[in-house]
Amino acid sequence: MSDSSLDKKAHFNVFLRGSGHHAAAWKHPASRPKEDLDLEYYANIARIAERGLFDSLFMADNYSGLGRRLEPFTLLSALAALTKHVGLIATVSTTYNEPYHVARKFASLDHISKGRAGWNIVTGHSQADAGNFSKPEHPEVSRRYEIGDEFVEVTKQLWDSWEEDALVYDRENEVAVDTSKVHEINFKGTYYAVTGPLNIPRPPQGYPVLVQAGSSESGKELAAKTAEVIFTAQQTLGAAQEFYTDVKSRLKKYGRTPDQLLIMPGLSPIVADTEAEAKDIEDEFNALLNTKQMLHKLSNYFTVDLSDYSLDSLVPVDKAKPYGSITTGITSRQEVVVDAARRDRMTIRQFIARSAAGHGHVSFTGSVLQTADFIETWIRENGADGFNILPHIYYSGLETFVDKVIPELQNRGLFRTAYEGKTLRENLGLARPENKNKAICALERTALKAQNG
C-alpha cells in the first residue's frame, strides 16, 4: 500500500433506478413501483444522498423498451431546484442526438444547478433505438465510438464558443453581449459540420463533468482521452486493480495525469447491523425472483438455453458466446458476468442470485463494518477511487448506507464530513477546464488592434 493511497478519500454516486437495483425490488412490499414517474419520489432519494454527502446522483437512459423512465434533463432540472449540493449526472447517447442539442441542454442544466451537471457519455446499445430514430441499423461498435469521439469534440468546442466575460450588460453603451468574445467554431469532421456559436454562455463548470460508462477496449480509450469519471463493472478486487492500472496508464499519451480521472465501479450493497441480518434480507429478495425470466435473460450470454439445465448444475461457461460477439446491450458486461461464473464455479442458482443483485456489478452482503472494510480495501489497494452505489431497494437500501456506512467511513478518515465546494467538479477534486478558444481569441484581438493602428 502506497503512502498516497492512505490519503485517498472515497467518492460516491447513487444510481437512480425505479424501485431499486435488485431484479425483484419492485415486488417487495416496501417498494414504491407506482412512483417511478413521481418527482417527489426522486426528490426524496436526492435528499437522502445529499444528507450522506454523496458527490452525485446518476440517471441512466435509453430510447426504446418499457423502462418507464423519465427523461433525464427534465427530471434533473427539477431536482436541481430541490437540492443544493449533490451533482446531477445524465446519460445521453452520441448516436441518437446532435452535438448542438446536447451542448445547449447541458449548459442549461449546469447554469440552473449552479455548476452541478455531469454528462454520462454513451454510444447507445440497441437496434430498437435505431428503429425509433428513422435509422436503418444500429452502428457497429467501432463506428459508434468514432462518432462519439467526434461528437464530444464538437460539444466541447460549442461550450468554448463563449468566452467567460462575453456578457457585459453595459447599460450606458447599450451593449449586453460583447460579440467579439462569442465565436463560430466552424467544425468540419467526418460525421459533423457545425458552425456555432452556442446560443447560451459557457457552463459555470466550463464543461459539465464528463463521465464514461463502458469497459470495452474502445470505451477505455475514449475514457482515457475524454472522461473525468468512469462508471464501470468489476466483480473482484484483482479485476478492478487491473482495469484501474490499465485505464490510468493510457492517460499520459493524451497529456493527462492519473488524478484527472476517477474510477468508480458499481457496488450493490445489502447492509445490516450483522452479517446474518444482511443475509436474511438477501434471501428475502431472492425468493421473489422470477427464475424463468432470469434464465431467459442470462441465456443471451450463451449458445445454449440455461433453462435446459438443472439450477444446481454448474454454469456451462464452455458454452459462453465468444467475447465481443454480442452487439446489443452493454457489450463489455458479458465478459464480467461470465468470468465471475467461471472463477467462482457458480451453480446456475448462484449465477441467478449474483446477477439479480447487481446486474453485472459487484454485490456485497454483510454488516456495516464488513461493508466499510470492503470499500476501504478497494480504495486503499487502488481498485477504485469511489463507487457508483446501486441500492437493492429505495429508500431503505440507500438510507442504511447513508446513516450507518458513511459514518463508519468518516471515522476511518476515508470520506468527507462536509462538501468541499459548490460545484460537482470541486467536490470531485477536478479542475475547471480552460476555454481552448481563450488564448487564440486573445491573439486575434491583439493582431486586430495592431492592424487598426
The gap between the terminal CA atoms of the chain, to the nearest Å, is 62
Q: Say if residue 291 carries a ligand binding annotation.
A: no
Q: Say if residue 394 carries a ligand binding annotation.
A: no
- Say how far apart CA 428 and CA 210 lie, in whole Å: 12
CA atoms within 13 A on the CB side of 187: 24
Q: Say if residue 423 carries a ligand binding annotation.
A: no
- Say how far apart CA 435 and CA 227 lie, in whole Å: 17
Q: Say if residues 401 and 409 touch (Cβ distance below 8 Å).
A: no
Q: Say if residue 313 carries a ligand binding annotation.
A: no
Q: Say if residue 215 carries a ligand binding annotation.
A: yes
Q: Say if residues 263 and 231 touch (Cβ distance below 8 Å).
A: no
CA atoms within 13 A on the CB side of 204: 16
Cell output for 34: 407506482
Q: Which residue positions form the known binding site?
A: 61, 91, 145, 215-216
Binding residues for FMN: 61, 91, 145, 215-216
